Amino acid sequence: MINTLNDVPKSRTGLPVADLAATYGITVDSAHIDDWDKFLQSIDESARKVSEMDDYLPTLDVDKYPRSKGKIPEDTSTGWALQLVAKCRVPKSDKLLDRTVALKDNIGLAGVPCTNGSAAIPDWIPQFDATVATRIMDAGAIITGKSGQLESGAYTCENGCYESTSETAISGIVDNPWAKGYSAGGSSSGSASLVASGEVDMSLGCDQGGSIRMPASFCGIVGLKPTWGLVPYTGIIGLDASIDHVGPMCKNVHDCALLLDCIAGADGVDDRQQNSVVYGRTQYLNNFETSLTGTNRDRTLEGIRIGILSEGFGQPFSDPNVDNCVRQAARQFEMLGAHVETCSIPSHETGQMIWGLATFMGSFQQAATGNVTGRKLVYATDRVTRTSCDQSLFDAGGPGVRSMLLSGMHLYDSYGPGLYARCKNLLRKLNDEYDGSLKRYDVLITPTTPHAAPRHHPPQTGPAERLAKALPITFNTSTLDATGHPAISIPVGFVPAQDDNSIRLPVGMQIIGPHYGEDKLFRVAGSWERHFDWKI
């Protein structure tokens, strides 16, 4: 900053001091107008100088990490938003050698358009790779896609990462691979669909309210939301830093453990990772395999205590067929040596409501006003351009994004930031209650979603009906984004579609663990997967 006010230039950008203050309802003493104007001139000069400085972003070694030019596929209903190839010429390991991995369309890959499923910023092309993208390439994976082609890339993300169904992405509707015309879940719709249909080996999804686990449940694959901060979110478009998660979506538990080994650990940039593990030193896959190869392979859960969370079942919007399927699957843990009983966390029933208010307000600040201050991370300065909500942002949004914008406006206008603060305190209370229950039990069980995949809405369906059906889907998943507990969804059976008994759709069971308890999740989930066939 300029050292003395005598050194400042004679003019500055922006409104006169009195007019500037008036826009915020402030009156400045007229006797001090010149002093304040001179002070702002010095601030303006500093801002101009900083604006002209070279930015400081991670650099991309295009020779080491080559990638093809992306292309939009003719058919996006299976989940593709863009197709390309990206890999590392000299990977650090062969853990994922030649495995095909897809990236959700909010995960940055340098030189490749990243839409976040929306037309709000349609032409944004990241300048650097997300940490997780670099790490999977360093493990030998190919960011790729369709079987038989050396092309692939980013897969569909629902509009603004703010939908629990799969009909709002800018790239088009994504069908459930088990039943055309039914939802693949959201917002990581393409990730789940592509893995389930076999077009890729594994994928990365992001989760702020259930967006990994809900589509995993609908599509019959395994999806893990890791502990908050375990996997770096650097280079990924987020909603609210306190709920942003990125994690694996795979065909089985083994592959989830493998992929987590390759992406977990601090990257030295994401400030959510102050207490995280060291990158490259996790042993999730080894611990998982060891836990299933003891002296008694049929009693792999001996000594494990499992709580079936009663509040996760029997809600007004729950399908009894789903509840019964998950309860039966949970009771099968007893055959593997586990002690299984029903437990209760009454606050679980109000958790989604509190999470929803906090998420509306937190997301509104970041998405609508560009407020991303107070963080130590890499900022995508070419994307942080919006300073207020406008018509173009609203028009580009799906029902979920529009509900967030209008709710954010209303909540700040009517209740102020104190409501957000209270919500966060109450979510911390819920976190402590989960922690208390997880001292008595190794893991907790709920249905991942209260019902199986719904049919896509007719195009003319209004926002009230869409939201009324979409919001309950997050009932058992959303609070865990707020508390940061890890949770995995595994397929445990089929139920009839709610509107057509001739159609059978997958059911997901959610297994919840203590913070940094991913090893427990893999042991429990993997034991069920190894001993029981969910497709029977």
Q: What is the mean pLDDT of residues 485-500?
A: 98
Residue 151's pLDDT is what?
Answer: 35
Q: How far is CA 343 from the centre of its chain?
A: 28
Least confident of 74-83, 97-106, 238-247, 486-495: 74-83
Summarised one tens digit per residue, pLDDT across range 307-343 is 999 999 999 999 999 999 999 999 999 999 999 999 9
Whether 292 has a pLDDT exceeding 50, the answer reads yes
pLDDT band at 206 (very low <50, low <70, confident <90, very high): very high
Indicate the pTM of the whole model.
Answer: 0.93
pLDDT in tens, 180-192: 999 999 999 989 9
Q: What is the 3-state secondary structure (H, E, C) of 186-244?
A: CCCHHHHHHHHCCCCCEEEEEECCCCCHHHHHHHCCEEEECCCCCCCCCCECCCCCCCC
Across the range 59-73, mean pLDDT stands at: 85
Rounded to the nearest 5°, which phi and psi values hold at 246? -130, 140
Q: Tell me: the pLDDT tens digits for 82-141?
A: 778 899 999 999 999 999 999 998 999 998 888 888 887 767 889 999 999 999 999 999
148: confidence class by pLDDT, cuts 50, 70, 90 = very low
Per-residue pLDDT of 404-430, as tens digits, reads 999 999 999 999 999 999 999 999 999
CA distances from 210 to 14, 48, 222, 426, 509 (A): 43, 42, 13, 20, 13
Phi, psi (degrees; rounded to nearest 5) at 452 = -75, 180
In the predicted model, what is the mean pLDDT of the chain?
90
| DSSP state, residue 71 | B
Residue 161 is predicted with a pLDDT of: 83
The pLDDT value given to residue 83: 74
Structure tokens at 514: 């203590």
* pLDDT at 154 (0 to 100): 47
Greater model confidence, 155 or 508: 508
Answer yes or no: is pLDDT of 450 > 70: yes
Show me where the domains of the chain are located.
Answer: 1-53, 82-346+432-530, 353-420
Mean pLDDT computed over 227-241: 95
**Identity at 321, one-letter amino acid code:** N
Pairwise CA distance, residues 516 & 284, whole Å: 11
Task: Report d(CA 235, CA 71) in Å as an integer.
Answer: 21
* CATH number belonging to domain 82-346+432-530: 3.90.1300.10
Give pLDDT, residue 145: 35
pLDDT at 365: 87
> Tell me, what DSSP letter sits at residue 449?
S
Cα angle 387, 1, 269; round to 5: 60
Q: Please list the active-site residues.
A: 104, 187, 211
The band of 76, judged by pLDDT with boundaries at 50, 70 and 90, is low
Among 324, 344, 350, 280, CA closest to 492: 324
3-state helix, strand, coil in the chain (%, to 5): 35, 15, 50
pLDDT of residue 84: 84
- Is residue 75 predicted with pLDDT exceeding 80? no
pLDDT in tens, 169-181: 877 889 999 999 9
Confidence check: pLDDT of 231 > 90: yes
DSSP, collapsed to helix, strand or coil, labels residue 340 as: strand
CB atoms within 10 A of CB 386: 17
